[in-house]
Chains A and B, each alone.
Chain A
Amino acid sequence: MSGAADIAGAPPATRPAVGTAVAAGVGRPAWSNLLFVLPYLVVLIVLLIVPLGLGIWLSFQDYDMLGGWNGSVGLDNFRNLLTDKIFLGTIRNTVWFVVMTTPAFVVIGLALALALNDTTRKSAFLRSVFFGASVLSVTIVTLIWRLVYLPDRGLLSDVFGLVGLHPIDPVVSTTWALPAIALVTVWWIIGLPMTLFLAALQQIPAEIYEAAALDRAGRWRTLVFVTLPSIRRTIVVVAVLEVILQFQLFGQALLITGGGPNNMSRPMVQFIYESGFRDLQLGFASAASQILFALMLLATFAQMWVGRRRDSA
């Protein structure tokens, strides 16, 4: 992002701080300047803020596409949700899924970044292999993996057969359904954490490694005491990002296992989808959405708080 600024020559002009969180603009204030942000603001209000408010309102209503609007029901929707076995199951599934995938993303992503952090053609090729899957859409990925998971004829059962083990069909297994989806997800999006870690690793100045070598630090000690501390912030960022993303698990579950067997792999978003768009219970679905939103915010803040505590430690 420095091309234009380089040629212009200057760092942004130093001017006395205006005292707001946002840096001062150029030129005098004018109402006409509002026109620049107005188009986007209109879109933001109509397509994000209004639905947000509407969703919150809906979650307190008994609103059914079939039965119509039957007035406010206060916290009934929430109460029903929190006693609904299936919904509680989806919360458990989603949280369990996040717990399964986030460490995998961080560890594997970091390992790949560490291993492929150089300028050789080999590494460039390998990086593009790992990243390539993430440009595919969820439906293509699920199609591929449904074929892989086909009982008797899929790649997985072929491989199991080769090794001499009895093949399992994860799609109909209550224990393996969710992990199977986790595997697909990690396969799909490992490119993102890998690239984020690569960027962070490249920010570490070479001199630190040279100093470590002069201090006769071996590979492992360098990793633990030099590299990892330098990218601690990025680790937190990646973890937070993955938590946010994986809480939104939907397509893979819907298309590979359908949420089964026995609701053991149904995530929260699928529940919202089904109650909102299949059962057409809008109030109920909105309440579920709010709970998902709240859980995500909670998880994000908790992580950031933990990350910050470690930073100052």
Chain B
Amino acid sequence: MISRAFLFVVVTLYTVFAAGPFVWVATMSVRTTTEISLDHYAWPQIWHWEKFPIAWFKSNYQVYFQNSLVVVVAAVIVLTVIGSMAAHCLARYRFRANRLLYFIIFSAIIFPPQITIISMFQILVQYGLYNSLPGLTLVYIAIQLPLTVYILESFFARIPADLFDAARMDGYSEWEIFWKVSLPIALPAISTTIILNFILLWNEFLYAVVLITDEAKRTLPLGIQRFIGDTMYDVGMIATGLMIAIIPVVLIYAFFSEKLIQGMTAGAVK
């Protein structure tokens, strides 16, 4: 019989292991590089909060943050709209091509990004969308679409059919059924996909690094690289930059953790 106390110790140790690095970065983000090189693990003596404004204004983090925000918010909005439309349709209407179409979209979840990245590059160049935020937004919509449809479809499918029959008998049009019946009920799943897409796209790196080269259009993950410069390996400033990147995600998680976990587990648990 494993004692509770022993479990507790193990669990606490693991927590240090899991959250430790994150706490370390947080402490470093308010110390200067000189202080850090003297003792890497000391608790901050002086809390250099001014590093955050410095990173934000002087090192262009403001720009990167804005770009990330614009691209990700736009992508998530479009994803939610077109994803739920497609999911609703695939879940509720029976027609011969239904399962085939569903499979086509669903299978794309497995696709490794390499299979599309090179030709995405060529396509965007061809249409003048290379190195542009709209181009990146389109790509982001495309890469998250399969997962969005997958999660939403399984949720939409669980809505009892009587609701739809009743609505139809009340004379609702197809669009109204979608808008007024499906969506409100599916709100938990939709908020899950919103949070999930937000987190995944906020942290997205590969496509951004290939498709954006202009300093002014960089997103946050690319911006962090900026501090990994040549002469001054500015550990302190990098840590500050990392915190700026992590904070929005942590905030969203803190507020929506329950919903997020419910949603993520709903698909994976059988």
User: Is the A/B pair a real complex?
Assistant: no
B-side interface residues toward A, CB under 8 Å? none
A-side interface residues toward B, CB under 8 Å? none
